[in-house]
Structure 1
Amino acid sequence: MKKLSLEMLRLTSDEVLGRSQMKKITGGYGGNYRYCHCTTGAGSWSGYYSSDQAAANAVAQYCEGGNGACTPY
């Protein structure tokens, strides 16, 4: 698949979305959610959480030894 640059599209600055605007479209959650998953242990689990506290609680509950990771989504 060929990549297009913004210069090739000849868009004006008001037609180009900013990074935060793109996150709202591609991520669907506006960048406020965390995607979490277990990093060690048997089985697998992943989930999306709306706060750091909820994410930390879920990792502690679902991941063996609390070994999980969360990233902004």
Structure 2
Amino acid sequence: MSLTTMKPGETARVTGFARGERGYRQRLLAMGLTPGAVFSVTRVAPLGDPVEISVRNFTLTLRREEAAILKAERI
């Protein structure tokens, strides 16, 4: 499942990353989105971009193309 298909209030666990830019994947890892991390979608902008998530007691806002690299499973 992709983060872009989730709705506000849903919770998921990071399972991995799609193939993409290695540099951006490293940034996501540095921001706490490591495999096994649990996050919840806080808000989604009216047109779906950006998406705000809550992970490890802080809020993170990602653009749609950035969020598309993240693979997750619903909890």
TM-score, structure 1 as length reference: 0.27
Q: As a proportion of its length, which structure holds more helix?
A: 1
Q: As a proportion of its length, which structure holds more strand?
A: 2
Q: RCO higher in 1 or 2 (8 Å CA, sep ≥ 6)?
A: 2
